Structure 1
């Protein structure tokens, strides 16, 4: 079955190459992590669509647990995601868009840190492991935005990329717990399978991601 899938992908790629030449056009499927859907895509999609009106973007939520397989078999043409800055997966071509600090944050509280609840998003385990082992109670939620709202409500603390909480930190509704963790960093990456044919549409998307950085 994987062989059949690969043959169909090669056929579709050849049709696209003949039909479109060097002009970006056709469908481009992007896997995107949830936080970037909220905080990055609202800028990226309008700018890209204005430049390349003949490209039809299809956006899917990234499944981190099965990412390499999904890239290999064409569930996504390319992925845009957040991982630890030193992330080095195999079988893919990786490009760093930018690096962000992780912020350990909470609302104003007199509760000792070790007695607070740690809120984590299900798909952010790679960086949440940095502090969760020291917390007495950990609650997993389905989205990074749900985590932020719980922290804003004073229900606990979390470790989040700076682009997720920068407005709240500036407004004072969240505070950074500087003493609680080292200055870890995450990267925003584009990723595609190392054997993936880079179409004109995909190449245009990769360039636009870096332009908007």
Structure 2
């Protein structure tokens, strides 16, 4: 049984089929089929059942999967042993929400790459749901998320900073906003939401409910940058982490009304059973140092 065959098996399970695994690994589909057949011949039992158009793990496939994952992780450990101990090598796979990919991590990655140029960093913008799945599958070394504090027995969570949250309006809209808590937004305001599943969308909806504010018109955005531009041009109002709009606020391009919301944390997460390579440990240390700067901003 070869490591490439086990990687193929893992990819089929994680990516949902032979064709997707072939695309991901850069193999012909016949090669993927050959790898699985080789494992099945060695074990004497099939790894998958075909049910309709779906490939479902057999019992022996389910038993093999955790061993395959562990063997692949062990191989990664061996690869990341540097020939020269003074020079860090390896690959670091990081998942992060769009806001952190854009506003928190770039400076850390720049500093890290300057210090460890031979470490390859793969940065994957992911939703919270996808991050949890990839952490559990061992596909991510680290994940970064803005959310209420995550508690999960399989994951190790390191809180980094409590994010300041703001109601964000155009300068023209801010002049029309009511003074009382019930009328804190004009009655006809368009509410601009981030995507469903986003933590601060949930808290925005709670704030609106608290103020007995029922929006008549809403729009949903997947991109904070697009959402900000719509606010600036007067399309509507939103609720965002201050770090994502601070530059525009300081430049007087929009108005921020700071809130007392303090449950949104930027946090660093990894699986408790995931081996922390020297490259990963160095990145964790660097992020924790940078987080001290974030707290003072």
TM bucket, shorter chain: 0.7 to 0.9
- Structure 1: stretches of 5+ with no match in the other structure: none
Work out the CA distance in 2 between the residues paired with 1:22 and 1:190. 26
- Structure-2 residue corresponding to 1:105: 168
As a proportion of its length, which structure holds more helix? 2
Alpha-carbon distance, 1:83 to partner: 1.4
Tell me the C-alpha RMSD between the 2 structures.
2.4
- Structure-1 residue corresponding to 2:17: none
SS of equivalent to 1:183: coil
- Structure-2 residue corresponding to 1:161: 241
Work out the CA distance in 2 between the residues paired with 1:49 and 1:127. 31
Give the 5 Å matches for 1:71-86. Answer: 71-84=135-148, 86=149
Work out the CA distance in 2 between the residues paired with 1:97 and 1:36. 12
Q: What is the aligned counterpart of 1:87 among 121, 142, 150?
A: 150
Work out the CA distance in 2 between the residues paired with 1:106 and 1:151. 6
Q: What is the aligned counterpart of 1:116 among 169, 172, 189?
A: 189
Distance 1:62 1:141, change over 3 A: same
Structure 2 residue 267 is matched with structure 1 residue 189: yes
Q: Deviations over 1:142-186 (max 9, x none)?
A: 2111111111111001111011111222222222345xx643442
SS of equivalent to 2:270: strand
Work out the CA distance in 1 between the residues paired with 2:84 and 2:76. 12
Number of residue equivalences: 210
Alpha-carbon distance, 1:131 to partner: 2.7
- Structure-2 residue corresponding to 1:174: 254
Contact 1:31 1:79 (C-alpha < 8 Å) held by counterparts = yes
Structure 2 residue 290 is matched with structure 1 residue 207: no
Distance 1:24 1:90, change over 3 A: same
SS of equivalent to 1:198: coil
Contact 1:68 1:92 (C-alpha < 8 Å) held by counterparts = no
- Structure 2: stretches of 5+ with no match in the other structure: 1-12, 14-64, 178-184, 292-297
Bigger Rg, structure 1 or 2: 2
Higher RCO structure, 1 or 2 (CA under 8 Å, sep 6+): 1
Work out the CA distance in 2 between the residues paired with 1:94 and 1:121. 24
User: Quick check: 126-135 or 98-107, which moved more?
Assistant: 126-135
Give the 5 Å matches for 1:5-20. Answer: 5-17=69-81
Alpha-carbon distance, 1:52 to partner: 1.1
